[in-house]
Amino acid sequence: MGNRYLRRLATLFFSLFVISLLSFALIEFSPGGAMARYVENPNISQADRTRMAERFGLDRPAPLRYFIWLRNTVQGDLGTSFMTGRPVLTEILERLPATLKLMTFSFFISIIVAIPIGIYSATHRHSLFDHLAATGSFLGLSLPSFWFGLLMIYIFAIWLNWLPSGGMITPWFDPSAYPLLIRPFVIFWEHTRYLLMPAIVLSLSNIGSWSRYMRSSMLDVISQNYIQTARANGVPERKVVYKHALRNALTPLVTLMGLDLPGFFAGAVVTEQIFAWPGMGRLFISAAGNRDYQVLMGIIMITAVLVLLGNLLADLMYRFLDPRVNYEG
């Protein structure tokens, strides 16, 4: 068992290395450069730009820069932002909680909606609900999230004026203005109303794919012999579905969730942009626009670590849910 996880860990570090190399090369080969944004500025001369590039160490050959970056990163130093001059790690850690908050909330929405839809569709196959769910998940998967986002902003923020169109919290929000008794609810609602729209938009494609997957997984399990056994032993149908079948149907879904994680991060980038959510995704977009390479690399690496850890977690969950998977493997 220990051996197995050592191997996983080695693979994880190797993946991180390859990801960093590829990302660095991709950034290196993309047009423009860190100094490109100053070219049009009449107050900054060519000589200034050369001096700045030297200061940032940009005049060195790319392989050397990569090794310097790698050496510093291994030591926990992700460098400084060209834009703000602040440490990259600080910039990211400031934004990471907002992204994690959005993703966690969205993840729970996805699960809470997708799993029951999948179960109901499977147990009521070819019903009206099943057809509607199929159409809905098809839409959720195929229509772009910025379109949904703008539609939701139009309906709920502009037209109905129920929810704020963007941001994470009202700047002047002051919980102490409310009586102690209702204060927790006020705080909860204050957070939720900002979260609701971006989290729903971010959930749509997950709900689409997970509910379909849950349906087919459930159908597959329901036709298994052990379900027949449970029924033949007098287990009531509700328990057959929600205990015997569900437990087995969830196992493959966990793997899918792990695989969907990168898409989830990518979705967060777009969603944060639409809803002015002050998370890592927005930082990424502005850093990409400004060619702030250190920040870009930092975000890519942190995301990669999170995705790989997420997959590790999914793997552990799978092992927990399916006793047949042996630990030696």
Partner 1 sequence: MLAEILLELRNLKTKFKTYDGEVKAADGIDLTVHKKEILGIVGESGCGKSATALSIMRLIPSPPGEVHADKMELNGVELQSLTEKQLSKVRGSEISMIFQEPSSALNPAFTIGEQLIEVLILHQKLDRGAAHRQAIKALNLVQIPAATQRLADYPHQLSGGMRQRVMLAMACACMPSLLIADEPTTALDVTVQAQILELLCQLQSELNIAIMLITHDLSLVAEIAQRVAVMYAGVVVENASVRNLFAKPRHPYTQGLLASLPLLNAERERLNVIPGGVPNMLNLPKGCRFHPRCPHCWQICRQQEPPLFSQNGSEVRCWLFAREMNK
The residues that touch partner 1, with contacts defined as CB under 8 A, are 224-226, 228-237, 244, 247-248, 251, 321-324
Q: Which among 116, 124, 105 has a CA at the least distance from the CA of 250?
A: 116
Shortest spacing between CB 259 and partner 1, in angstroms: 21
Residue 258 CB, shortest distance to partner 1, in Å, is: 19
Instruction: Please identify, using beta-carbon distances, which residue of 178 and 318 lies nearer to partner 1.
Output: 318
Minimum CB distance to partner 1 smaller for 99 or for 248: 248
Taking the least distance from each CB to partner 1, the nearer of 184 and 236 is 236
Closest distance of CB 235 from partner 1, Å: 7
Least spacing, CB of residue 300 vs partner 1, in Å: 38
Show Cβ contacts of residue 254 under 8 Å, excluding neighbours closer than 6 positions. Answer: 314, 317, 318, 321
Beta carbon of residue 122, minimum distance to partner 1 (angstroms, whole number)? 13
Q: How far is CA 71 from CA 18, 77, 295, in A?
A: 15, 9, 16
Look up residue 150 and give its amino acid: L
137 vs 248, beta carbon nearer partner 1: 248
Asked whether the beta carbons of 56 and 79 are under 8 A apart, the reply is: no
Q: Is 47 or 232 the residue whose CB approaches partner 1 more closely?
A: 232
Number of alpha carbons in the 13 Å side-chain half-sphere of residue 126: 0
Nearer to partner 1, 218 or 230 (CB): 230
- The rounded distance, in Å, linking the Cα atoms of 206 and 195 is 17
Q: Could you count the other beta carbons within 10 Å of the beta carbon of residue 172?
A: 6
> Alpha helices of the chain — where are they, by DSSP H?
2-29, 46-55, 62-74, 88-123, 128-142, 145-152, 183-222, 225-232, 237-239, 246-274, 280-289, 293-321
CB of residue 107 to partner 1, shortest distance in Å: 23
